[in-house]
A and B are shown apart, each in its own frame.
Chain A
Amino acid sequence: ETGVTQTPRHLVMGMTNKKSLKCEQHLGHNAMYWYKQSAKKPLELMFVYSLEERVENNSVPSRFSPECPNSSHLFLHLHTLQPEDSALYLCASSQFRQGAPYEQYFGPGTRLTVT
């Protein structure tokens, strides 16, 4: 596997279900991100994990819970979601270096539908 992988690619879940999205990066990066992409809206940063910090977008509801057990893996735990949570969830990683661009590399995304 190379780059950033995400599983599952598609997920349909009811509002009472609990599920988890998984992201794995094979690039040796030290920061990982979760983004939400809804139709007709800009990408919304949800969470950032790096060696030095965890950053959370305060507008993200508590029904989304991130977990980063190590620098290569990132999870997004979902529970009691709402239909408006249906979106494409993108994971990304980057390598933070002083003075460097540290562009983010994205996975293919998980298309989530909440019924």
Chain B
Amino acid sequence: AQKITQTQPGMFVQEKEAVTLDCTYDTSDQSYGLFWYKQPSSGEMIFLIYQGSYDEQNATEGRYSLNFQKARKSANLVISASQLGDSAMYFCAMRASTGSARQLTFGSGTQLTVLP
């Protein structure tokens, strides 16, 4: 079974500062994918970034980067130059190669608040 752990229920960051949101995962699969989603108060889940288990470089998408440490089974999201609009719930998720290939397992989320 796959498991995603997000240990930070809430985080605060000053506008324009960088912030790291933690995510650790547990799987026995060799091939898997890791995702980060953002959920504003409106409810919609917005896909941010993806990291494959065989990708040698950390994924980056604009101000988002994924700090992937395979041996530690961690996939932390780094948001640089935080903006007020970044205030939202952030979810880490994993897709494993076993079972239904289309299923994602989500963590419990981190509520990020950007302070002006």
Contact = CB atoms under 8 A, between A and B. Distances in A.
Interface of A: 31, 33, 40-43, 45, 48, 50, 53, 55, 88, 90, 92, 94, 96, 101-109, 111
Contacts of A96: 101-102
Contacts of B33: 101
B50 A103 contact: yes
Interface stretch (B17-25, B41-49, B65-73): B41-49
Given A42-B109, A101-B33, A108 B44 contact: yes
Interface residues of B, number: 23
Contacts of B95: 101-102
7 contacts: A31-B102, A40-B108, A42-B109, A55-B103, A101-B35, A104-B104, A106-B37
Interface of B: 4, 33, 35, 37, 42-47, 50, 52, 91, 95, 100-104, 106-109
A56 B10 CA distance: 32
A55 B104 CA distance: 12
Given A104-B47, A106-B44, A108-B44, A55 B100 contact: yes
A48 B43 contact: no
